[in-house]
């Protein structure tokens, strides 16, 4: 078996023990005397005893090896090894789960998926795997109602989920879904120019004005209709969450079945009644993911709510000369995180134009933990609110660089807002672009969003399985990585060649 491509030592020792048993058996056989002097009957009994003892040792060794099977993948890409997260999901099983996988035996991709699932099935006795070729066993396929190849039926406790695909990550998510005993709904707020959950899989800019920039200067001209969060919706649905729109101005209240309320980059100010509805929802033990991007101006009721959550939105943009992408210092990159269940598996995230959050004294019973911070060299400069901007001229007043220090970019809050009320959870991040279709698939941006939703839905104890999002192949580098790459390739490498040539010339002259 593998844990991040490493063979389990106990299983490998069983394999070594089997080999030792076979070698000992051969060594003993070579040293056993052929003539015993026991007579005809005694010789026959002696020979029969040797055969029975040899077969017994052989059978016991093979049974022990079968019960402690190991899996060694010698391919460079570890093609036949389940991912570490998929194996972690299997290790967490405490309830019996049955998987029936339908594949075509002459399809190499389906064969790989079958082998992967069989490896996962041997990992934990709580997981049983049955692989079926519908062409050879059509009765079983008809009984299960499956008419597709490369489809898995995951069953547990009377519930079943159909997964179509060959990726073990999707099947691992299917295991988590079938074990979930409650329906989880993510409600996307709309009505204030938020990124739409129905947004296209691409985005559009006014290229001539912003030169395709994603910093503060371009936030005024992004066409929100195309710059949506459709990929977020797909990722959450793949995780088994139900998604739907919520327009507070018409609904009046947040429905009780909304497990998480997600506000993705609203552009216009909330109405007082909407802020009051959001407060009532949190006071009743709700959960909210609030992505308030540059220029969003909260009204008084929302400001008081955010203050009770321990933050205040600064009307500024963070500039990070040390940790950023490409040459845009406003595309802040975060490589280190404060300890929290949301950030425990994150590697690197980046935020195209993010506002800082000022920490305030939260309401009694509320605990606040910063989860995202910029580097020590970062600073902030004022920007105009979105409603006060135009596409002509500069969108922010001139300012001097000052107050260089790390800025809080995101917080997680939990507790109670009313005596005797159930506990709520909330995450506030000063950027919504990182979750848009443009940036969600890259680095750990999608991991951050999924981890935040899982924590809000109180599913952080389980393993978070990453949903793969197809994207064009590209390499994204931070500013520091780009500088070192330039120094090494453009400066050091040519100088090294020149130096070697000079040494050779000097020795030959």
Per-residue pLDDT band at 306 (split at 50, 70, 90)? very high
Of 64-78, 166-180, 450-464, 476-490, which gets the smallest average pLDDT? 64-78
Reply yes or no on whether the pLDDT at 113 is more than 50.
Answer: yes
Instruction: Give the model confidence (pLDDT) of 127-170 as tens digits.
Output: 999 999 988 888 887 888 877 888 999 999 999 999 988 888 89
- Cβ–Cβ contacts within 10 Å for residue 134, how many? 20
- Cβ–Cβ contacts within 10 Å for residue 340, how many? 20
Mean pLDDT of 217-231: 59
Euclidean distance between CA atoms 202 and 191, whole angstroms: 21
H or E element, residue 260: strand 260-264
Mean pLDDT of 85-104: 92
Instruction: Give the model confidence (pLDDT) of 433-454 as tens digits.
Output: 999 988 888 888 999 999 999 9
pLDDT of residue 38: 72
Distance of alpha carbon 291 from the chain centroid: 18
Per-residue pLDDT band at 77 (split at 50, 70, 90)? low
pLDDT of residue 72: 64
Reply yes or no on whether the pLDDT at 491 is more than 90.
Answer: no
DSSP 3-state percent helix, strand, coil across the chain (nearest 5):
35, 20, 45
Q: Both tokens of residue 400?
A: 């001097």
Reply yes or no on whether the pLDDT at 297 is more than 80.
Answer: yes
List, in order, residues 6 or more apart from 42 with CB less than 8 Å away.
36
Per-residue pLDDT band at 209 (split at 50, 70, 90)? very low
Mean pLDDT of 207-226: 46
Percent above pLDDT 90 for the chain: 44
Q: What are phi and psi of 322, to 5 degrees?
A: -90, -45
Indicate the burial class of 211 (C-beta count within 10 angstroms; 0-12, 13-18, 19 or more). exposed
pLDDT of residue 33: 74
Question: What is the greatest pairwise CA distance in the chain?
Answer: 112
């Amino acid at each position: 078996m593998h844990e991040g491509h490493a063979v389990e030592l106990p299983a490998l020792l069983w394999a070594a023990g089997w080999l030792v048993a076979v070698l000992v058996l051969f060594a003993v056989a070579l040293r056993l005397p052929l003539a015993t002097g026991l007579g005809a009957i005694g010789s026959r009994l002696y020979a029969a005893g040797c055969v029975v003892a040899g077969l017994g040792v052989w059978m016991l060794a093979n049974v022990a090896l079968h019960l402690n099977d190991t899996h060694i993948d010698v391919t460079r890409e570890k093609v036949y090894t389940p991912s570490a997260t998929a194996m972690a999901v299997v290790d967490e099983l405490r309830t019996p789960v049955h998987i029936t996988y339908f594949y075509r035996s002459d399809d190499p991709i389906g064969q790989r998926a079958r082998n992967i699932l069989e490896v996962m099935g041997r990992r934990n006795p709580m997981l049983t795997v049955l692989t079926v070729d519908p062409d050879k066993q059509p009765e079983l396929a008809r009984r299960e109602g499956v008419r597709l190849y490369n489809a898995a039926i995951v069953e547990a406790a009377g519930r079943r989920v159909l997964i179509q695909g060959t990726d073990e990550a999707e099947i691992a998510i299917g295991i988590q879904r079938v074990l979930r005993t409650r329906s989880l709904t993510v409600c996307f707020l709309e009505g204030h120019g938020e990124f739409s959950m129905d947004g296209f899989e691409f985005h559009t800019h006014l290229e001539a004005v912003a030169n395709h920039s994603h910093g503060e200067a371009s936030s005024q001209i992004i066409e929100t209709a195309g710059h949506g969060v459709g990929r977020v919706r797909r990722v959450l649905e793949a995780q088994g969450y139900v998604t739907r729109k919520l327009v507070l101005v018409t609904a009046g209240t947040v429905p009780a079945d909304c497990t998480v309320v997600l506000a993705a980059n609203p552009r216009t100010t909330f109405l007082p009644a909407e802020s009051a509805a959001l407060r009532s929802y949190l006071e009743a033990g709700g959960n909210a993911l609030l992505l308030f991007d540059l220029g969003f101006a909260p009204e008084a009721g929302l400001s008081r709510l955010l203050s009770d959550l321990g933050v205040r939105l600064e009307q500024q943009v963070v500039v990070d000369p040390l940790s950023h992408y490409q040459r845009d210092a406003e595309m802040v990159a975060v490589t280190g995180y404060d300890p929290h269940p949301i950030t425990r598996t994150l590697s690197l995230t980046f935020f195209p134009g993010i506002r800082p959050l000022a920490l305030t004294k939260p309401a009694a019973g509320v605990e606040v933990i910063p989860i995202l911070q910029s580097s020590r060299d970062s600073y902030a400069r004022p920007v105009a609110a979105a409603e006060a901007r135009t596409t002509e001229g500069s969108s922010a007043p001139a300012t001097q660089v000052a107050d260089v220090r790390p800025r809080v970019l995101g917080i997680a809050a939990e507790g109670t807002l009313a005596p005797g009320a159930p506990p709520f959870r909330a995450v506030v991040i000063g950027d919504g672009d990182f979750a848009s279709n443009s940036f969600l698939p890259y680095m750990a941006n999608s991991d951050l969003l999924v981890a935040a939703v899982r924590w809000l839905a109180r599913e952080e104890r389980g393993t978070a399985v990453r949903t793969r999002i197809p994207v064009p192949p590209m390499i994204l580098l931070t500013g520091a990585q780009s500088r070192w790459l330039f120094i090494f390739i453009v400066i050091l490498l040519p100088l090294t060649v020149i130096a070697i040539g000079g040494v050779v010339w000097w020795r030959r002259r």
